[in-house]
Amino acid sequence: MADGVTALDDPRRKPTEIAPRQEKAMSMRSTIRRSAAVAAFALAMTGVAAAPAAAAEIDCDSFTSLRHAGTGYYTHVPSLGSGSGNFNCVLAKGSRNIGVKALQESLNHCFGRSLAPDGQFGTLTEAAVRYAQGQLGGLSVDGRYGPRTSAAFRFALYDHNNGGRLVTGLPCVGR
């Protein structure tokens, strides 16, 4: 084929070779457009607005250990994947994993809560997250640990040179 000439422009092509497929595709597109218009009209007449698609939420299924430069200790920040540094994830009621346990330990140590660090995000963990969100300020107090709460959160410190033990006597730190 010459530059800029497509198979559809080829004069040797018989008009019937592609025409039925093109006609069927055009008919399907027309049907889809009509169906969409009818659906939009029906919704408008009933006063129901189409809800915007919600962003997919992914559970923080592990945690990332971040070294705190000022102390040499580490924080355990809930994340998507072990050691990934991907904090674009959520923990909410019903979540069950090691990321929840890391969150519960920081809620206990940094915000004075008394949770059993069992890795299960239940009613008590939800209430503790609400408390922390209220203490931190500038956050929606919704009881869900997501990227915004993570960015503002204060985390407990751990000594990886001493069996990963929780460090007491030092203030909690941000990530």
State pLDDT tens for residues 52-67: 445 568 999 999 999 9
Query: Which is nearest to 98 in space by CA: 68, 132, 65?
Result: 65
Both tokens of 53, joined, read 């698609």
Give the global pTM.
0.68
**Any idea which architecture 62-166 has in CATH?**
Orthogonal Bundle (1.10)
- Write down the pLDDT at residue 69: 87
Identity of the amino acid at 119: G
Residues 94, 32: Cα–Cα separation, whole Å? 39
Which one has a higher pLDDT value, 25 or 109? 109
- Write down the pLDDT at residue 15: 46
- Per-residue pLDDT band for 30 (boundaries 50, 70, 90) equals low
